[in-house]
Amino acid sequence: MIERRPKDGLGRFDFGWLDTRHHFSFGDYHDPDRMGWGALRVWNDDEIQAQTGFPPHPHRDMEIITYVRSGAITHQDSLGNSGRTEAGDVQVMSAGSGIRHAEYNLESGPARIFQIWIHPREPGGEPFWNQKPFPKCDRSGRFVALASGDGDPDALPIRADARVLGATLKRGEAALYEIGEGRRAYLAATDGELEVNGVTIEAGDGAAISGEPRIEVKALADAEVVLVDTL
């Protein structure tokens, strides 16, 4: 089953400094049928205006992955970590037993991000943060693990039964992905237009996938794709 979740049907809030769409219940958006997808709990599509951002706030017991679509995000946290993550790159924060952090767009133009929250295998643990560049040319025409709890050697580690993957596809290209038995996937295109096993997915849409042992993701226009594979 592949359920298309159109962009216009997502929860949307425009606060001026932040224009956000929620794929799952979050904050003031509540849909009892969209409380998560397996271990995947949150997928927010955020556009953050220049010189604004999220001031310090706490998290615990969540794996938080930020995929920067355009612009850059600057991170600061209570462990003393700080860093700037640019478009196409990824940062991971394992909140563990508790951490405070802030995320700002200190650039001259808007920043667009996917922020993805995944439940950890178990609560607690020492919190940590990390980031890594993932050149788009390295994932041209194929899925590459960006963050993983399954031991993918080149991915940022997370403490969850999940993988976060990315691919860039030129028009007419297709990438295959095997989904293990009992697992499910959620996919979104940052740009372009896709067919996922024949189902059309436009930029900003989500696709909730279950009971499909393999998916073929074909680009109908140049596209950048992020996928979460989870129990």
User: Under CATH, which number does the domain 2-230 receive?
Assistant: 2.60.120.10
**Where do we find the tokens 């938080």?**
64
Per-residue pLDDT for the chain (231 aa), expressed as one digit of tens each?
Answer: 999 999 999 999 999 999 999 999 999 999 999 999 999 999 999 999 999 999 999 999 999 999 999 999 999 999 999 999 999 899 999 999 999 999 999 999 999 999 999 999 999 999 999 999 998 888 999 999 999 999 999 999 999 999 999 999 999 999 999 999 999 999 999 899 999 999 999 999 999 999 999 999 999 999 999 999 999
Closest CA to 2 of 166, 225, 193, 186: 186
pTM: 0.96
Domain coordinates of the chain in residue numbers? 2-230
Q: Is 126 exposed, middle or buried (0-12, 13-18, 19+ CB in 10 A)?
A: exposed
